[in-house]
Amino acid sequence: MKKTSPPAKKNPPLTAHNFGPGINQSSKKSNGGGAVAAQPAMKTNHLGIQDWRLEKPQFKVIEITDPKSGEVHYETRGNLNTPVPPIRDSKYLTKDQHLEIYRYMLLNRRMEVALENLYKQGKVVGGVYFGLGQESCSVASAYALDKDDWFAPMIRNQGALLVRGFNASDVMMQYMAKAGSPTKGKDGTSHYGDIGPRNMVSPISMLGDLIPVMAGVALGARLQGKQIAALTWIGDGGQSTGVTYEGINFAAVKKLGLVLVIESNAWAYSTPSEYQYLPEDLADRALGYGIPAVIIDGTDACQVYDATREAVERAHRGHGASIIEAKMMRMKGHAIHDGAAYVPKEMHDYWRKRDPIDRFEKFLMAKKWLTPDANKKMIDEV
């Protein structure tokens, strides 16, 4: 797959909580797509961490216990009728790159819909995990890597595999434990890697364990004289594990090019974020590690790409690890067996309106980079 690297930038020195010049503070360089419009003022959170989102949800989830039965359920409090934000213009992506990302997101979703159908036909061995509503996060982050960089996907990142050169049929045959699958039928989910050319470390089911492994990959590359980016993802629940702290701290101290995307998707299995960790933003934890972080809208492929690309470039310059907190919502249950009945309906509806693919499609149409005919053709091909 051919990708052009964004133009080299002159960034000011990075401090622990400064992710760089900020999305609206860049030089006036065009992204080749002619896209950069006036950007809204860049915000920071109460600890000074950049928050690129164009919207901050105005509601919370609260736990209600029935005094008689002791049964627990969740409700929302706040305003869920706020307008859907636009996609933020990318500083770096060209028109063709936008279209390629859009295509991968479509393929990611189409593949998972097909997998759901195959599961219902009894053709899938074991469960199926979906990245519905998170395609932008998986696809646009993987797209920001260069060829020599490494990545380690988790269950919601099947879209990243597509970007790095796996076929949808590889992923689907794996789920069906077919002889032609990457593990030749020995595993039913996604436990496989590729030491080349795709540079993929196999997922590790124990949450957090991929982080020190990816720090080690970056260290190994450095010992071979290369500065690479080592990208992995961790859920909001998974980041609570002890090994997450150890892995990030090691990468931070050794200035290894770990790029950690925290998929802050509102739920860890059936536990809402509000009951899983106390800070409003998990990005705050970067301060404790002494590394930069940024908060982004994980449903906005442009924000995901730009944030990851900046972290990747830091890694290539030998400036060390970065954290990207991508806020979004897990739009299905933990796996196919989980109907997610614990999710308040209005919360699901809120995020449904923020679908990453629908919004990106409208964004591309508004730019006239995608015509209705070209869109239909692409959807049909996928």
Ligand X SMILES: Cc1ncc(C[n+]2csc(CCOP(=O)(O)OP(=O)(O)O)c2C)c(N)n1
What are the residues binding Mg ion (CB under 5 A)? Answer: 235-237, 265, 268
Buried-state track 29-52, b at ≥16 Cβ within 10 A, e below 16: eebebebbeebeeeeebeeebbbb
Q: Which option in Mg ion, ligand X, none does residue 17 bind, with CB closer than 5 to 8 A by kind?
A: none
Q: Which option in ligand X, Mg ion, none does residue 159 bind, with CB closer than 5 to 8 A by kind?
A: none
- In the complex, minimum distance from the CB of residue 266 to ligand X, in angstroms, rounded to a whole number: 8
Q: Which option in ligand X, Mg ion, none does residue 306 bind, with CB closer than 5 to 8 A by kind?
A: none
Among 205, 288, 346, 371, binds ligand X (CB under 6 A): 205
CA distance 86 to 69: 44
Report DSSP state, residue 237. T
Q: Where does this chain touch ligand X (CB under 6 A) — which range of 204-212, 253-261, 342-350, 360-368? A: 204-212
- In the complex, minimum distance from the CB of residue 210 to Mg ion, in angstroms, rounded to a whole number: 15
Q: Does 332 bind ligand X (CB under 6 A)?
A: no
Report DSSP state, residue 367. T
Q: Does 219 bind ligand X (CB under 6 A)?
A: no
Q: Does 279 bind ligand X (CB under 6 A)?
A: no
Using DSSP bridges, classify how beta strands 271-272 and 293-297 pair: parallel, antiparallel or unpaired.
unpaired
Q: Which is nearer to ligand X, 240 or 375 (CB)?
A: 240
Distance of CA 293 to the CA centre of its chain: 14
Q: Does 238 bind ligand X (CB under 6 A)?
A: yes
Q: Does 272 bind ligand X (CB under 6 A)?
A: no
Q: Which option in Mg ion, ligand X, none does residue 205 bind, with CB closer than 5 to 8 A by kind?
A: ligand X
The secondary structure of 34-73 as a DSSP string is: S---PPPPPEE-TTS-EE--S---EEEEEEEE-TTT--EE
Q: Does 88 bind ligand X (CB under 6 A)?
A: no
Question: Residue 177's closest CA among 168, 186, 169?
Answer: 186
- Sign of torsion, CA 215 218 223 224? positive
Q: Does 17 bind ligand X (CB under 6 A)?
A: no
